[in-house]
Structures are given as structure tokens and as C-alpha cells.
Amino acid sequence: MAKKNASKKTQQRQNIRKEKQSSLLTWIVLGVLALLVVYGVALQFSNSTIHNITVPEITVQEAYQKYQQGALILDVRTAEEWSQSHIPNAIHIPLDELESRLHELPKDKEIVVICHTGNRSREGVVLLLKAGFTQVSMVTGGMNNWQAAGYPVVNGE
């Protein structure tokens, strides 16, 4: 009888342990699912506020025409890239400084954003659009295409 009671108690303890393990596993799975849902919502929010903005792209030929007509050329490359060569009379504001220096740019003038190949220009245009600038575009192919087309550049500061 004592063996039977001991066996029954052992069985009960094992069942309780299994229930606790099962309960813990359930909470872990629910926690992971909750984190995935929060991550998905955050990702969707960031996509809708940044990536769904249409960035107006223009060719280097269109950019040169706008340049000749007095559009402001905004170069968002690094200081090192700028000193190697840049478009005459362009404004230089590196992309990592742009958000804090938006006040330096006119909202009532067309702005053409350029970088080395076009990636940073896209980010610059998104920043400008989110800040309320309306006449902005980026140069497809950036300074690579500008120089390949033989358009004017100056070297140095």
C-alpha cells in the first residue's frame, strides 16, 4: 500500500511538472508571437511613413536644364567627396546634417538633390518632402552621370 501511495505521489508530481512545463512553453510561445506582431506593426508603420513616399527622379540631362534655369542644386555627399569635385554654385549639406540644417534651404525654390550615385539623394528628397518642401527631385545616377555627361564641375572647396 505504501508503495502504491508513493507511486501515486510520484505520478502526481510528474504530472504537475509536465503541466508547469507546458504552461511555461505556452507563455513563451505567446510572448514570441506578441513580439512578432509588434515588430510587424512597427515595420509596417515605418514602411508607410518612409518607403511609400514617391521620390521624383530626373535624368542628368533634366537636372542640367533645371540647373541652367536657376534651380538650387543640393549636394548631400560627404565633405571629402565634395572637395574632390562638385557642381559650381551647388549648396553642400551632407546627408547626415540635412535634417538639422533644413532651415538653410528655401521652400519656394526648386531643389535638385544630388549625391554620388543616387542612394543618398533619395533619402535627402524624402527628408525634404516630409519637412514640407514641394519642388524637389533627385538626379538618377548622381555625380557619376553628371560627370560622364561632361557637365561642369569644380575641384576643391
In the chain, where are the structural domains located?
A: 1-52, 57-148
Catalytic residues: 115
Superfamily of chain region 57-148: Rhodanese-like domain (3.40.250.10)
Q: Is the pTM of this model over 0.75?
A: no
pLDDT digits (tens, 9 = 90+) for 127-154: 999 999 999 999 999 999 999 999 999 9
Give residue-wise pLDDT tens across range 27-65. Answer: 777 777 777 666 665 555 444 345 577 899 999 999 999
Q: Which residue pairs, CB below 8 angstroms and at least 24 apart, start in 143-150?
A: 143/75, 143/77, 143/81, 143/85, 143/86, 143/87, 143/114, 143/115, 143/116, 143/117, 144/116, 144/117, 145/59, 145/60, 146/60, 146/63, 146/64, 146/87, 146/114, 147/85, 148/60, 149/60, 149/61, 149/64
pLDDT at residue 1 in the model: 61
Cβ proximity of 125 and 55 under 8 Å:
yes
pLDDT of residue 72 exceeding 70:
yes
